[in-house]
Amino acid sequence: MAAQYRWPVSYGSPLLLSSLNPAAVAAGIDIPDAVTIDGVTLSRSDLLGAATSVAERVARAQRVAVLAEPTATTVLAVVGCLIAGVTVVPVPPDAGNAELEHILADSGAQAWLGRAPEGAALPVIPVRLHARSWHTYAEPAPTATAFILYTSGTTGAPKGVMLSRGAVAAGLDALAKAWGWTANDVLVHGLPLFHVHGLILGLLGPLRVGSPLIHTGKPTPQAYAQARGTMYFGVPTVWSRIVEEPEAAKELVSARVLISGSAPLPVPVFERLRELTGHAPIERYGMSETMITISTRPDGERRPGWVGTPVAGVRTRLCDEAGNPVPHDGESVGGLQVRGPMLFDGYLNRPEVTAESFTADGWFKTGDVAVIDAEGFHRIVGRESVDLIKSGGYRIGAGEIETSLLGHPAVAETAVIGVPDDDLGQRIVAYVVLREGVDAPEQRLIDHVASELSIHKRPREVRVVAALPRNAMGKVQKKLLL
Ligand code: MCA
Ligand code: AMP
């Protein structure tokens, strides 16, 4: 457990989902459209009543898995668990067998809440959209684990990031302050509900701040254009697809803020978005382990290619490989380290990896390299490791894909890299040496990964080669493949 590394939590409302305060809802402080998703609109009282009914059914569990499809069922499952104080393990809805087995075994989830994948071995607790309960639950402690989010590392299977309720609340309050986010906003996005971006910022944010949420389903330019919100979230791939459709982009003129994160926003996309919508996008930087720690501000400078300054409660610094400080002069590059009240409590079941990811004096080593200028503005230069790939805003470990490919009978050796891609930021490319005398169409290898892991982890391209470039020690030289 790494709770000792987190700074003390001090946050606004003592209720994590403060807009669902039972007393306020009973007193008639309701809105008809708290959440709109998958063709269903839930008022605040619908949401509270139905989620409390879920809470009653799930309250005796400690930890449950939720197949995080973008549906009202997922929303009620997550909110019900938060009401009851049960830890949620969100599972990508398209997770293949290997990924699913790993997440369930590692997390120790006791049941599926809501819809379960076909052939599920765990018991299934149903979620009923029209059930209602008005039982009141005491607010669980801020130290309780709200979520275990699975995220890829450079090697091995994904690790479970433990996020406490206090960290979530502090992270959301810092963003509300940074972005001037209030109950008068209407948030629009179409991001997946199994990562910090779509789930915590994109669902719990509105429920804490009290602003309605419109989830668009697939985040297409047309869906964003039609939604008519004040605040839009997107990963860079979403924004680059929007600027390719100027008619849709122009519909965003009436928004208050457009916010980009999860991966670097290319400068030409930033500029084109400003031209078409009149809004210079807000860029913000974060990680599953830290939530959002750095952002530009709607009332401050927005500099293309830069992600701004730390949000409330966060401190940042740069260090070289020996741990010595690197000057904040806008040019010197160093490893970015952060601290703040929104940091995670460690990787589940991995105390050594948790300890290694913090410095002796309690700073989290992000693994990103950055520069900081004299005004405290940050630019993310890249990752320390070539083995962490960002594709469509998803963090994908090369090692996990290599393990999957090596499990295919035709593959003798493989090296997976991320190559620059205009649409996805990075595109996953697998170099493969086939076993002698064996042939396998490239598409079959791609499908193999898509069926074992999640679809977004599939290589977009497989390049069959006679040998991989190796150094004298026999280590694959991925930089030569790039
Ligand atoms: C193609 N498909 C296949 C295959 N080939 N399906 C199965 N097997 C195959 N071999 C089809 C699928 O049927 C599906 O089609 C489509 O490919 C899905 O491909 P995908 O690449 O996933 O879709 P995309 O349209 O290219 O997605 C772009 C996207 C997505 C919508 C931008 O990448 C996305 O949602 N990204 C968000 C990532 C995110 O939220 N990251 C946050 C983590 P069909 O679509 O027709 O069904 S970062 C974070 O949380 C931190 C804190 C932060 O900073 O925010
Ligand atoms: P994840 O844990 O999936 O959220 O991935 C976190 C990683 O995404 C960070 O370590 C960065 O490499 C990258 N990232 C997130 N936001 C940004 C951003 N605004 N600019 C550049 N990289 C980003």
Q: Which atom of ligand 2 is nearest to the CA of 395?
A: 3
Determine what percent of the chain is predicted with pLDDT higher than 70. Answer: 98
> What is the rounded average pLDDT of the residues 7-12?
50
- 297-343, pLDDT tens digit by residue? 999 999 999 999 999 999 999 999 999 999 999 999 999 999 999 99
Q: Which atom of ligand 1 is nearest to the CA of 287?
A: 52
The alpha carbon of 29 and the centre of ligand 2 are apart by a number of angstroms equal to: 37
Whether 433 shows a pLDDT value over 50: the answer reads yes
Query: Ligand 2: does its nearest atom lie under 6 Å from the Cβ of 173?
Result: no
- Which ligand neighbours the alpha carbon of 384 most closely? 2
Whether 104 shows a pLDDT value over 80: the answer reads yes
Report the C-alpha gap between 355 and 23 in whole angstroms.
42
pLDDT value for 2 = 47
- Which ligand neighbours the alpha carbon of 454 most closely? 1
Query: Ligand 2: does its nearest atom lie under 6 Å from the Cβ of 336?
Result: no
Report the C-alpha gap between 4 and 118 in whole angstroms.
40
The alpha carbon of 95 and the centre of ligand 1 are apart by a number of angstroms equal to: 12
pTM listed for this prediction: 0.95
> What is the rounded average pLDDT of the residues 154-164?
93
Query: Ligand 2: does its nearest atom lie under 6 Å from the Cβ of 286?
Result: yes
* DSSP for 335-384, written as a single string: EEEEE-TT----BTT-HHHHHHTB-TTS-EEEEEEEEE-TT--EEEEEES
Residue nearest to atom 11 of ligand 1 (CA): 455
24 band by pLDDT with thresholds 50, 70 and 90? confident
The alpha carbon of 379 and the centre of ligand 2 are apart by a number of angstroms equal to: 12
The alpha carbon of 456 and the centre of ligand 1 are apart by a number of angstroms equal to: 5
- Cβ of 124: how many Cβ atoms within 10 Å? 14
**What are the φ/ψ torsions at residue 219 (nearest 5 degrees)?**
-80, 65
- 218-255, pLDDT tens digit by residue? 999 999 999 999 999 999 999 999 999 999 999 999 99
The alpha carbon of 380 and the centre of ligand 2 are apart by a number of angstroms equal to: 9
- 397-432, pLDDT tens digit by residue? 999 999 999 999 999 999 999 999 999 999 999 999
The alpha carbon of 121 and the centre of ligand 2 are apart by a number of angstroms equal to: 34
Q: Are residues 196 and 151 in contact, defined by beta-carbon separation less than 8 angstroms?
A: no
Residue nearest to atom 20 of ligand 1 (CA): 456
Query: Ligand 2: does its nearest atom lie under 6 Å from the Cβ of 235?
Result: no
Q: Are residues 314 and 293 in contact, defined by beta-carbon separation less than 8 angstroms?
A: yes
pLDDT value for 9 = 40
Residue nearest to atom 9 of ligand 2 (CA): 287
Lookup: tokens for 426: 């990075």
Query: Ligand 2: does its nearest atom lie under 6 Å from the Cβ of 283?
Result: yes
- 108-131, pLDDT tens digit by residue? 999 999 999 998 999 999 999 999
pLDDT value for 10 = 43
Whether 174 shows a pLDDT value over 70: the answer reads yes
Whether 29 shows a pLDDT value over 90: the answer reads no
The alpha carbon of 20 and the centre of ligand 1 are apart by a number of angstroms equal to: 31
pLDDT value for 5 = 52
The alpha carbon of 122 and the centre of ligand 2 are apart by a number of angstroms equal to: 33
Give Cβ neighbours of residue 356 (< 8 Å, ≥ 6 apart): none
Q: Are residues 337 and 378 in contact, defined by beta-carbon separation less than 8 angstroms?
A: no
366 band by pLDDT with thresholds 50, 70 and 90? very high
Determine what percent of the chain is predicted with pLDDT higher than 90. Answer: 92
pLDDT value for 244 = 98
> What is the rounded average pLDDT of the residues 22-36?
88
Of 55-64, 149-158, 258-267, 413-422, the poorest mean pLDDT is in 149-158
> What is the rounded average pLDDT of the residues 252-275?
98
Residue owning tokens 């709770």: 3
The alpha carbon of 401 and the centre of ligand 1 are apart by a number of angstroms equal to: 16
Angle at which helices 44-58 and 72-84 pack, to 10 degrees? 60
Residue nearest to atom 21 of ligand 1 (CA): 456
Residue nearest to atom 35 of ligand 1 (CA): 191
Testing ligand 1's pocket by substitution, the residue of 189, 194, 195 carrying the most ligand atoms inside 8 A of its CB is 195
> What is the rounded average pLDDT of the residues 58-65?
96
406 sits in which H/E element: helix 398-406
Nearest residue to 375 (alpha-carbon basis) of 340, 326, 328: 328
Q: Would you say the C-alpha torsion 169, 170, 171, 174 has a positive or negative sign? A: positive
Query: Ligand 2: does its nearest atom lie under 6 Å from the Cβ of 377?
Result: no
